[in-house]
Amino acid sequence: MIDRKAIEFQRLHMPGNCFIMANAWNAGSAILLEQAGFGAIGTTSAGIAYSHGLADAETALSFDSALRETCEISDAVSIPVSMDSENVYADAPAAVFENMKRIAATGVVGASIEDYCGDRRHPLYDIELAVERVRAAKQAVAELDYPFVLTARAECYLYGSPDPFKDSVERVNRYREAGADCLYVPGIRDLDTIRELVDAVDGPVNVVMGLSGTPISLAELRQAGVTRISIGGSLARATFGVVRRAAKEMLEQGSFDFASEQIPDAELSKLFSRRTDN
C-alpha cells in the first residue's frame, strides 16, 4: 500500500495540479478528513502538541511522541500522509539523516524540514548549513523503493529577516538544488506576494491557509500557480475553540446547544470500526 500512497502523493505535486492537504493531529481527525474526500493529509506538530496539553514549541513535544502519533495517523488512513517534522529534531546534517530515516519508517510518504534553529538571536540556520541539512534529509530517503516528497521550508517571514521575500527565494531555490521536492514559505498572507513567490522559485509551492489575514480562495491560489495548500494547526485550534465555546455555554448559560452539531455515536463508531476491520 505504501507504494501506491507514495506514487499518488508524487502525482499530486506534478505541474498544473493544485490540491488541499489538510492537517490532522490524531488518528480520528485523519479518518474524518479522509472520509470528507481529501486526497492526502499532513500532520500538524502544533495540533499534536495541543492534544498532549503542550505548547506549540520545538522542545515541548518529544521526537518519540511525534513519531508515535504520526504512526497512528499513517496507519489509520489509506491516503498519503506527510509529516510536519519541524527541524527534523536535529541540528547537524548527520543527525538529520538518521532522524529522517526514522520518520520514513512511520509509513508517511513525505515530510518537511524547517530552517528555524531555535536560537532567538539568530533564528535561522546559516544558509550553507541549512542546505546541507536538506541534502542530508534527501539522502536519507533516496534509497527507498518508492518516491518520498521532501518539503523544505524557509522561515524568513516568521522570524524577522530584513528582506524576507528575497531571503526566502534564495533559500528555497538552494533547497530545491539540494533535493527538496516541494517548497514552503510560511507567513505570506497576500495573494500578490504568493504570485511573485511562485514565479520566483523553481519547484512546487506550498502555502498555508486558515490563518488570520485577507481571505484567499482555492480558485485564486490555483490561478496563482500554487501546487499545495496546507492548513497547519488551524483546524486543531478551531476544534479547541468548539470545546471552549461549549464549556462557556454550559457554565454561563446552563444550556447544551453545542451538542446539536455533534456527529452521532453510531456514525463515528461505524466509521472508526473500519480501522479494526482491515
> What integer pLDDT is reported at residue 127 of this predicted model?
98
* DSSP, residue by residue, 15-82: TT--EEEEEESSHHHHHHHHHHT-S-EEE-HHHHHHHTT--S-TTTS-HHHHHHHHHHHHHH-SS-EE
- Looking at the DSSP bridge assignments, the partners of residue 208 are 230
> Hey, what amino acid is at 97?
F
Inside any domain, residue 257: no
Residue 162 has pLDDT above 80, yes or no: yes
Is 63 within the bounds of a domain?
yes
Let me know: does 7 contact 26? Beta carbons within 8 Å. no
Q: Side-chain half-sphere of 141: how many Cα atoms within 13 Å? A: 29
Query: In terms of residue numbers, what domain contains 116?
Result: 2-246
What is the tens place of the pLDDT at every residue in 77-113?
A: 999 999 999 999 999 999 999 999 999 999 999 999 9
Question: What's the chain's average pLDDT?
Answer: 96
Per the domain annotation, does 55 fall within a domain?
Answer: yes
Would residue 269 count as lying in a domain? no
166 Cβ neighbours under 8 A, 6+ residues apart? none
Supply the pTM of this predicted model: 0.96
Q: What is the pLDDT of residue 274?
A: 79
Q: What is the pLDDT of residue 57?
A: 81
pLDDT (0 to 100) of residue 211: 83
In contact, 128 and 170? CB cutoff 8 Å? no
What are the grid coordinates assigned to 192, written together?
A: 500578490
Does some domain include residue 261? no
- Structurally, the chain folds into a number of domains equal to 1
Task: Identify the burial level of 71 via C-beta atoms within 10 angstroms of its C-beta, where 0-12 means exposed, 13-18 middle and 19 or more buried.
Answer: middle
Distance CA 150, CA 142 (A): 10
pLDDT level of residue 278 (50, 70, 90 thresholds): low
Spatial neighbors of 40 by CB under 8 A, at least 6 apart, are: 8, 9, 12, 19, 21, 79, 80, 81, 82
Res. 265: pLDDT tops 90: yes
Q: Determine the pLDDT at residue 277.
A: 60
Please report the pLDDT score of residue 51 as a whole number: 97
Answer whether residue 266 is part of any domain: no
Report yes or no on 265 lying in a domain: no
Neighbours of 95 (CB within 10 A): 14
Q: Is residue 83 included in any domain, yes or no?
A: yes
Question: What's the CATH number where 173 sits?
Answer: 3.20.20.60
